[in-house]
Structure 1
Amino acid sequence: MTRPPLSGGVAGTADAGPAPSLWRNRDFTLLWTGQCLSDLGGAMVDLALPLLVLQQTGSPARAGLVGTAGLVTTLVCRLPAGVLADRFDRRRLMIACDALRIAVYALLGIAVVTDTAGLPVILPVVVVGAAATAVFSTAEHASVRSLVGLDQLTSAVARNEARTYGVSLAGPPLGGLLFGIGRSLPFLGNALSFALSLVAVLRIRRPLQETRREAAAPAGASAAEGLRFLLGHPFLRALLVIAAPLNMAFTGMLFAMTLALRRAGVPPFLVGVAGTVFALGGLLGAFAAPALQRRLRLPVLLTLLCWVTAALMAVSTLLADTVLAAVPLAAAAFLGPTANAALFGHQAAVTPDHLQGRVVSGVLLAAGSAAALAPALAGALLARWSPGAAMLVFPALVVVAATTATLSKGIRTVAAR
């Protein structure tokens, strides 16, 4: 693996001796556990929030507006979040974000209890919460390199992937259950989850970044520096071209499958089962990712995973009107965490610590923007063509990623880990 010059600090000393197991790494485990809880709270709210807006306004369009507001805020804040994560102390930044999220979601929970939770309350909460989450998640991604050894980065990313899929399985049902018991409970529960995250961050002992030896450049120049590094590095350029179509393809396939199943008259419960099957495939894949990474070099791993994913998605299009469409998608999701762990683990290793936030934010912006376009693209395609034909666009996008993984010099020249 090509490694960046290390200039002291925790990241520079992480490889000094045998690294302990990630489960025995106290600081990484604290960060990971805190984010499990806060991600679980966020998943509960993702389900409860549109239900609340529908109940308050009776308007699906307004429920969609609230969801869009949060998504747009996240995308707009990505690049500024990267600048902040590299300019300021990352621990203090995460503490401030958690404190802000505790306040706004507690306020929303109280507003629900007092029956004053109209759109003038809900929209600001969603926007402020999404902005704080964008900053927190960028700082968290940037901090991992300071908490684990360079040889453990891919395992750490795989652990985070397992967290994501596990939360996607548990969060929505829990959010629905709590909303049924009391409409305020998912929002108050979310505030509690951020409080627990705050406690976890406060207990981390190690610094989350290297010591800065130079004064920070102005914000605009700082953002431009990060983008220049991202676009100028062969591996990171390839990462952009791989991550964006993969994210768009997975999001689009899931959305198209859901619409196709409902249009075919499949009961909502079975549509939910299809989504659960997909998430379960990703969760199992996250646990298998470290073993797969140990057996295959990164270029071989990525090439194989991308082409297999394209083939599995193509198989899913043949089953578009049945719940069985979820099975090949789940198999593709099984491979996804390994690809993400390999790509983002190597990204963390080749990016100097003082640029981690800006590089991560650039990659997440590209991947998130592509995923945000996927539902609209899927809807437009399904309005024009049959489900099977419409969904073929998404495995075609994965072919773009697979071709990049096969031909890109930035991927092919990565040394064996």
Structure 2
Amino acid sequence: MTTTDERTVAAPPLRRNRDFLLLWTGNWLQFFGSRMGGVCYPLLALQISGGSARAVGLASAAAVLPFAVVQLPAGVLVDRWDRRTVMRVCALGRALVLGALAAAAFLDALSVGALLALIAADVSLTIVANLAERAAVRTVVPASQLTAALSQNEARVRVAGLLGGPAGTVLFTWARWSPYLGAAVGSLAAAVGLRFIKADFRPPARAEHRRIRDDLADAVRWLRGQHVLRAVLPVVTLAAVLLQVVQLALVVILVKEQGHPESTVGLVLGISGCGGVLGALTARWWMARFSMPALLLGGLALWAGLMTGMALVSGPVLLGVLFAVMNAVGAVFGVATAVFQMTTTPEELQGRVAALAGLVTAAGSTGGAFGAGSLLAAWGGTRSLLAAAGGMALLALTGALVPAVRRAHHAEPPGAATPTEPPGAATPAEPPWAAGPPPGGGTGGQGGGPRRSRTPRPSPTSAPAPPPSETLPAPAPAPKTAPGFRYVPEFGHVPEFGHIPELMRAVEPVPAPTPRQGPSPEPQPGSASTLTP
């Protein structure tokens, strides 16, 4: 007998899951290349424009604009097309874009307009690939390992950010084309690795072709009907707005208000990056011990306290440690919300719902960056950080008052398949009555007699076992028998010798005789006891 729980336990660990390792490694190479190239885009724009600050601003805008333009159509395409094909095409496209950028930079033939176009193309392909990879994770890991898989994915992003930025700047200092050449090689390696994944990444078959607008409308309608997800999403978006204030205020406090050199910003970011990696690696431990509302509301309250401490302490080390704890909380928070979104979203809507959620949170981050600049100009770093801490505390209190947020819980993915057996191949749990007769051949009383045949086990295509509340009651004990008789459930009381003839199956069972003192009662004509074996 093979149940769903047994198949899940029997699944190999993630370190032995070949498809997951190929998917994880390929996307880590692309994340690392994105961090190397992304940190150098403003520097390259500054060089080729002759020091124009306007070119730096345009390069930053070209990296942000695709999140508003590309994300929703990309979610629809991810739900329509084979996700492995989408990821391979995006990886090959990024290799071509980054290779062209490296060649143009090497030949000193790169203009500002060409740079902006290449930046937009690189970021757009990255968005599509990330949505496809996020939806594909459920295909290569069972439900019980989804949290661990997403924790490793979050750690991958944190490590790429921690190492990719310094590596990119070092390579750019040596040769400005080298970060993009390295990123192109990483994308090409990712495309090759995706070729060897055996899992089927095709979305559920669709009966008709529809317009993108109609598919997006389906995702919006589904999201509107999810009270918990609809309540959690604004909380996450507002938290992203306030976190932008923290990141910009940190620079102002360190450099302008406390007078530290600019290099201390890198030190603080390095310390905080280590906290993010630690939080991502321990997210599964926290999620196993705390509910979703506790992680969500507790994380917001802890953020508020840490932000207050950052406004009151001085020195890059203390600020870095507090910011590291904030990043650790953010990593756990990110894994928990990702698991919640993926386990509550149907398979056919994974790309579109992730795109909608990403668009909303990206809009919050962008709006928070613009608002933080005005707030810092008016109030300074310390007061702005205290105001953001107050806003975060208010957000935690407001979230605690929303019933839908308090009801959030980690759900099992609807219809998620395990990698050890294809969907629909699960053998249903064996019902209690399928185990055959009770010990003793199903006959009460005395004597052995013939054993009844076992009830055949249900086939894999039979109906699933009823819930525990609907199981059959235990059979009643057999009534007492007179001397020389034994009780057979189907035939009543029969003599204690020989085998039951076929003729007995046509005879109606009679009630058990009442035992009494003295000799055995005379058998009645037509009863089972008058028949000779």
Do both share a fold (TM > 0.5)? Answer: yes
Q: Is 1:348 aligned with 2:339? A: no
Q: CA deviation at 1:412?
A: 2.5
Which residue of the partner structure matches residue 101 of structure 2? 108
Give me the whole-angstrom Cα distance separating, in 1, the residues matched to 2:110 and 2:141.
43
Q: State the alpha-carbon separation in 2 of the partners of residues 42 and 74 from structure 1.
A: 15
Give 1:343 deviation, angstroms.
1.4
Residue 21 (structure 2) pairs with residue 25 (structure 1): no
Alignment of 1:373-388 (within 5 A): 373-388=367-382
* Offset of residue 400 of structure 1: 5.1
Residue in structure 1 matched with residue 279 of structure 2 by the alignment: 285
1:254 and 1:114 map into 2 onto residues whose CA distance is 37
**Alpha-carbon separation, structure 2, partners of 1:249 and 1:116:** 41
Match of 1:268 among 240, 252, 262: 262
Aligned structure 1 segments of 4 or more residues deviating by more than 6 angstroms:
none
Aligned with 1:402 (options 380, 386, 396) = 396
* AA at the equivalent of 1:35: N
**Alpha-carbon deviation of 1:291?**
1.1
Provide the identity percentage: 32
Deviation by residue 1:176-196 (Cα, 9 ceiling, x = unmatched):
111122111001111111111
Distance 1:212 1:397, change over 3 A: farther
1:316 aligns with 2:307: no
1:44 match: 36
The offset of 1:77, in angstroms, is 0.9
Q: CA RMSD in A?
A: 2.0
Q: Which runs of 5+ in 1 are unaligned?
A: 1-12
Give the Cα–Cα distance (whole angstroms) in 2 for the partners of residues 415 and 279 of structure 1. Answer: 28
CA contact (8 A) 2:249 2:382 kept: no
Match of 1:63 in 2: 56
* 1:3 alignment counterpart: none
The answer as to whether partners of 1:105 and 1:191 remain within 8 angstroms in 2 is yes
Structure 2 residue matching 1:117: 3-state secondary structure: coil
Q: TM-score, normalised by structure 2?
A: 0.72
In structure 1, the residue matched to 2:242 is: 249
- Cα 1:243–1:201 shift into 2, 3 Å: farther
1:221 maps onto 2:214 in alignment: yes
Question: Is the CA contact (8 Å cut-off) linking 2:268 and 2:316 kept in structure 1?
Answer: no
1:54 aligns with 2:46: yes
Instruction: Using the TM superposition, give the Cα deviation of residue 17 of structure 1 relative to its aligned residue in structure 2, in angstroms.
Output: 3.0
Is residue 378–residue 391 contact of structure 1 (8 Å, CA) maintained in 2? Answer: no
Offset from partner CA, 1:193-220 (integer Å, 9 cap, x none): 1111112222211012443243242110
Distance in 1, Cα, partners of 2:307 & 2:53: 30
Of 207, 211, 219, 2:204 maps to 211
Return the match for 2:77 from 84, 109, 118: 84
Deviation at 1:381, TM superposition (A): 0.9
Q: Distance in 2 between matches of 1:212 and 1:187?
A: 38
- Given the alignment, which residue of 114, 127, 135 partners 1:134? 127
Q: Equivalent residue of 2:40, what SS?
A: helix
- Give the equivalent residue in structure 2 for 1:336: 330
Q: Deviation at 1:239?
A: 2.8
| 2:441 alignment partner in structure 1 | none
* Residues in 2 aligned to 1:21 and 1:409: alpha-carbon distance in whole angstroms: 37
CA distance in 1, matches of 2:6, 2:102: 45
- Residue 288 of structure 1 and its aligned partner are, at CA, apart by 1.3
Q: Alpha-carbon deviations, 1:328-347, whole Å to 9, x = none?
A: 22112111121111111021
Instruction: Tell me which residue corresponds to 2:118.
Output: 125
State the Cα distance separating 1:403 from its structure 2 match: 3.4
Residue 170 of structure 2 corresponds to residue 177 of structure 1: yes
Do 2:399 and 2:405's aligned partners in 1 also have CA atoms closer than 8 Å?
yes
- Are the equivalent residues in 2 in contact too, given 1:316–1:326 (CA < 8 A)? no
Tell me the number of residue pairs that the alignment of Structure 1 and Structure 2 aligns.
405
> What's 2:354 paired with?
360
Cα gap change, 1:402/1:15 in structure 2, threshold over 3 Å: closer, same or farther?
farther
CA contact (8 A) 1:238 1:404 kept: no
Matched, 1:231 2:224: yes
Q: Which has the higher contact order (CA 8 A, sep 6+)?
A: 1
Tell me how far 1:161 sits from its aligned partner: 1.2
Long gaps (5+) in structure 2? 412-533
* Counterparts of 1:205 and 1:400, CA distance in 2: 48
Alignment match, 2:519:
none
